[in-house]
Amino acid sequence: MDKISIGSRSCHAKLRRSGSNFTLSVDDETYEGVFSRKNGGIIQLNLGEKRTMGFSERNGNEIYVYANGINYVLRKESSNTKQAAVEEENDDIVLSPITGKLLDKKVEDGAKVRKDDVIIVLEAMKMEHRLKAPRDGILSKLTVAEVGSQIKEGEVMFELEGE
């Protein structure tokens, strides 16, 4: 479960998807729904009887959503570990969670990696942050930044392709 918050309010949620169907768990409730992606980045959502058109974009641990005529800025924290924002499940794209120095690139672009392999090591405020592969896959679009250079929060560090 991820903790999702807006201002001082929060809840725990998890979404499992299979094709265009999804199951959303919010605290103790469960919802079944269907979604599809439309032109212009619009996501159509059918949750029970209700149809919602919206936009959603994520950067680091912030998620920006437009739905039902309201713009939201949500914060997402994984409840597993403290650095969980780094280790999100089902993520194909891994962004730098911090602004800091690139210490090491452990794997080369195109390599096959397994879940939890360390790909990138960053340093900020004298602390090391290890970015791990969120799942098995092929490493692609590894950052071209050189070891020793500065990385900004939200910068794409690498992507995963294939399964």
Nearest to 65 by CA among 50, 52, 84: 52
Phi and psi at residue 85, in whole multiples of 5°? -55, -25
Which listed range, 31-39, 79-87, 108-116, 119-127, lies at the site for another protein (CB under 8 A)? Answer: 31-39
Considering Cα of 52, then 85, then 75, then 72, what sign does the dihedral take? Answer: negative
| Position 43 contacts another protein (CB under 8 A) | yes
Close Cβ partners of 73 (under 8 Å, ≥ 6 residues apart)? 6, 62, 63, 64
How far apart, in whole angstroms, are the C-alpha atoms of residue 2 and residue 71? 20
| Position 124 contacts another protein (CB under 8 A) | no
| Position 135 contacts another protein (CB under 8 A) | no
Beta bridge partners of 104: 121
Interface characters, 61-80, with another protein (x: CB under 8 A): --xxxxxxxxxxxx-x----
Residue closer to another protein by CB (options 15, 103) is: 15
Q: How far is the CB of 19 from another protein (least distance, A)?
A: 13
Residues that bind another protein (CB under 8 A): 2, 4, 6-9, 11, 13-15, 17, 22, 24, 26, 29, 31, 33, 35, 41, 43, 45, 47, 50, 52, 54-59, 63-74, 76, 91-93, 95, 152, 154-156
